[in-house]
Homo-oligomer: A and B are copies of this chain.
Amino acid sequence: MRMRKDSGPDIFDLRLLKQLATDASQSNSQLGKKIGIFSASAISKRKKSLGERGLMGGIRASLNVEKCDLNYPVVILVRGKYGLNYVETLGEKLKKLPGILSIYNVSGDIDFVVFAVYRNRTEYLSILDKLYDMEEIERTDTRQIYKIIKDFDYSNAINLTDSLSPM
């Protein structure tokens, strides 16, 4: 009998994911101390395995948008014109626009919630023009982001998983 390589995450995988979602720049021995594995090599193997099993998406730096002179962050709600594969088609088109941070296909009277960031209102308006030019779009509704109360990160999500004891 052979151990299934793609079995679900165990308690240590979940603890490790939570730590990595919080701060992925920690060394393996730091991570080990926090999650209860006292061997840096075991952490190293698990990190690799999390990637191979597809549980972890990637490791990325976040920006301080103000400091980077990106002072016009927005949420754009997009309603597409219904048609064959319109979600996929329009999704791909939206992906190619400058400044797009994320795109979600959602339920309700809109199809997409899009996050984007620009340097100023003028730059944002030039992108909005491109949206108006897309014939696949029925309407858009833009909201300026006044304040980032909590920047996007996954660290809270892991807590939900049954087997993860409090850390």
Contacts and interface: CB of A to CB of B under 8 A. Distances in A.
Q: Identify whether the interface residues of A are mostly helix, strand, loop, or mixed.
A: mixed
Within the oligomer, what is the number of copies of this chain? Answer: 2
B60 A24 contact: yes
A139 interface: no
Interface string A57-76: 11111111101111001010
Interface residues of A, number: 71
A165 interface: no
Given A24-B24, A56-B63, 13 more contacts: A21-B60, A21-B63, A23-B60, A63-B154, A68-B158, A69-B161, A75-B104, A99-B160, A101-B150, A102-B148, A104-B147, A105-B146, A105-B148
21 contacts: A17-B61, A17-B68, A21-B61, A25-B58, A55-B64, A56-B64, A59-B61, A60-B153, A60-B154, A87-B146, A91-B150, A98-B160, A99-B159, A101-B150, A102-B150, A103-B148, A103-B149, A105-B148, A105-B149, A107-B143, A152-B152
